[in-house]
Structure 1
Amino acid sequence: MAAGRIVALIPAHNEADRIGAAIAALRAQSQKPDRIVVVADNCADATADIARRAGATVVESSGNRHKKAGALNQALDQVLHGLAGDDLVLVQDADTTLVPPFVASAVAAMGSDVGAVGGIFYGEAGGGLLGALQRIEFQRYAREIARRGYRADVLTGTATVFRVSVLRQVRQARLDGLIGGGTSYYSLASLTEDDEITKAVRTIGYRTVSPAGCRVVTEVMTTVPKLWHQRMRWQRGALENLRDYGWTRVTAPYFVRQALMGLSVLALALYLVFTAWMLARGRPDFSPFWIAVGLVFVAEKVVTARGAGLKSQLLAGTLAVELVYDLFQHAVYVRSLWDMARRREERWCAT
């Protein structure tokens, strides 16, 4: 589609260390946004000052108690007022940098039936072993998106471009009671506003895509507690969004995916129990068939980690370290289900 005006919104809470890089990456786009707006939400550092010096417009939230979603809703109320329906709004995290073709690729992908274009995220360098495991995970997720024909099942909060008319339709659908989450653009009832708005955009009849050129580099969690809080928020939010939307044509694949995740948790648990039982009985026999199966599994792990670099491929080939990481993610899944069953409120933690 021919691009109208493009406004970039960067919600930021105490992001003085990163906001400059995020703005610089927007300035370096092959197709630059017409305006960059930093939404300074309850900041106690120099985020707003740094953003102004970098040439961005700063909008400071007022009395916001709803974290990122609340800050974005306040900013969108102001920004969308002067935009046409075919104009575009790019919402990106302050801890994320966009590759130079991102905006141009998003504009090119914005067909008449596409409501929003999401980014494909990769992990930044650093973070030690934990960072490497996240980079491998993100690389595999990028391959999965490519295999699905670049369909976006989640409009990632790292960076997503919306058509203005679609954002207005989402808000109207909430006002009309067709979807929940409040009376504005982003849901105030969801722990994962990006997952929820994906379902909202698709529920009102639009496709969501993540083309190959829309790559972003984002922060990795550097400690286990931070990673735990992040993944609990993602998983619990995804489950609660499905509960709130119920079974529909749009949500059916998400329910299936969660069920398959549950089966993988059960399968790995049974495998570990069986292996422990075999070891307890004495030295197990290794048949050529099962050795071959294991080698195929190792090869798949190594190949799918290819884009993350040689060191990541070697790490993936060990299997053992990634097995621990898988167990960590399974623990997140089980704990999320348990907390939902007990109706335990998830506490938001900054990561």
Structure 2
Amino acid sequence: MLSIIQGVNLTICVIFTACYSYQMVYAVLSLFLRPKKYEAKEEHRYAVLIPARNERSVLPGLIESIRKQNYPQELIDLYVVADNCTDDTAQVVRRAGAKVFERFNQRLVGKGYALHDLFNEMKQDGVLEKYDGFFVFDADNLLDENYIREMNKVFDSGYRVVTSYRNSKNYDSNWISAGYSLWFLREAKFLNHVRMRLHTSCAISGTGFLIHRDIVERNGGWKHYLLTEDIEFTVDSVLQGEKIGYCATAKLYDEQPIAFKQSWNQRLRWAKGSYQVFGHYGGALVKQAVKKRSFSCYDMIMNVSPAMFVTFASLLFNGIFCIVGIFNLRVAPQIIPATLLAIAGSCLNVYLLAFVMGTLTTLTEWKEIHCPTGKKIFYLFTFPLFMMTYIPIAVCALFQKITWKPIEHTVVKTIEDFQS
């Protein structure tokens, strides 16, 4: 029985290493590969799209940062969809000079449906075709003054979908907001940056991306309504043969949750959404990864597959055998120490892997992290704990029915707070 336990634990370790070893290679390459520089021959015309639900406090900051872009303002039009708002978000946006579409639909709820209705409204108004591309932001975002100019460079080079560098407005709030922030900084530096340099497809993460009008027209507007519409759009685009680009010099600041309950609910939705995407597109991704030898498809499979299940499987397997040992005194001296050691080893491996990941991210992005030095160091030790909470979240998401719920945003800052 001891040999079975050791064999299964070894198998789990080998499977995890085999699946995700390429991301370890990414981490090494990211330390040596510098972002490629792009130049634009043309300044394109863009529409900025912002789905917003009761966002009167933070929207003015985003709108102001758009108005201060180092890009011709006559080439930027701003559209906000006030989605089931119960406050005066629409009035605030109108006073700021943006175009507003108010939407009231309690049955079809979520960002995907809001974007769908906004695109339809623009098409009916006959304005869709006058734009070369469409930016999508969340209401709590802030943009660096060169954001649109830098994104335009990558867009003009031929990428029809482009994502950007995602930073945080409130890294130093607590260990939860810092956990989110490190994760997104790690995605930018150690995944999308390397993907871009290796000419494979990047991945969109939530907010701050640009879509070519041709793709919007091909898709009939916005057609992605799963709980994680950003991941669904990424996977669908890759399956359609699109290579998503990444602009490291286009910086966006995003607000992160600070309450654990709010964080739990949000990540529960993300986990459920990943399962939905895997269920809808997993077969097609595997088929293209094998048939067309598409590394981008393999990368997306790893991006949506529940990696935390590998750790959970190890904990569950060893936990069951530990209980067997408790009730079977004959084999207890062998089984209990072995299983307890394996459980401790799994937890330690997750902690150390996350700690190394967080440390590398903090060191390489040190100047981009707006936080006192002491907190930067302290959050290196809490980041692994933040990541380990994904294990029960991933399990709960399997069994719970989850619907989209709005996240309240309260961090009111201006872009000058970060550029200074």
Give the TM-score of the pair, scaled to structure 1. Answer: 0.79
Does 2:350 match 1:314? Answer: no
Measure, in 2, the Cα distance between the counterparts of 1:52 and 1:169: 31
Measure, in 1, the Cα distance between the counterparts of 2:395 and 2:242: 32
> Contact 1:85–1:163 at 8 Å: present in 2 too?
no
- Cα deviation, 1:61-110, whole Å, max 9, x if unaligned, reads 25463322222111112324324386111111101111112111211111
Name the structure 1 match of 2:100. 58
What amino acid is aligned across from residue 169 of structure 2 in structure 1?
A: E
Q: Higher Cα Rg: structure 1 or 2?
A: 2
With over 3 angstroms needed to count, the CA separation of the structure-2 counterparts of 1:244 and 1:101, relative to structure 1, is same
Q: How does 1:1-351 map to 2 (within 5 A)?
A: 2-31=42-71, 32=73, 33-63=75-105, 65-80=108-123, 81-84=126-129, 87-111=132-156, 113-125=158-170, 126-144=172-190, 145-149=192-196, 153-171=202-220, 184-188=221-225, 190-247=226-283, 248=285, 249=288, 251-257=297-303, 258=305, 260-266=307-313, 301-306=358-363, 307=366, 308=369, 309=371, 310-317=373-380, 319=381, 321-336=382-397, 338-339=398-399, 344-351=400-407
- The number of residue pairs the alignment matches comes to 320
Measure, in 1, the Cα distance between the counterparts of 2:383 and 2:318: 15
Measure, in 1, the Cα distance between the counterparts of 2:391 and 2:215: 35
Measure, in 2, the Cα distance between the counterparts of 1:115 and 1:9: 17
Listed as ranges, the gaps of 5+ residues in structure 2 are 1-39, 289-295, 323-335, 342-350, 408-420
> Contact 1:305–1:316 at 8 Å: present in 2 too?
no
Measure, in 2, the Cα distance between the counterparts of 1:62 and 1:133: 34
Higher relative CO (CA 8 A, sep ≥ 6), structure 1 or 2? 2
Listed as ranges, the gaps of 5+ residues in structure 1 are 172-183, 282-293
Give the TM-score of the pair, scaled to structure 2. Answer: 0.67
* Structure with the higher fraction of residues in helix conformation: 2
> Contact 1:120–1:214 at 8 Å: present in 2 too?
yes
Alignment RMSD (CA, Å): 3.3
Name the structure 1 match of 2:12. none
Bigger CA drift: 11-20 or 308-317?
308-317
> Contact 2:55–2:89 at 8 Å: present in 1 too?
yes
Bigger CA drift: 76-85 or 224-233?
76-85
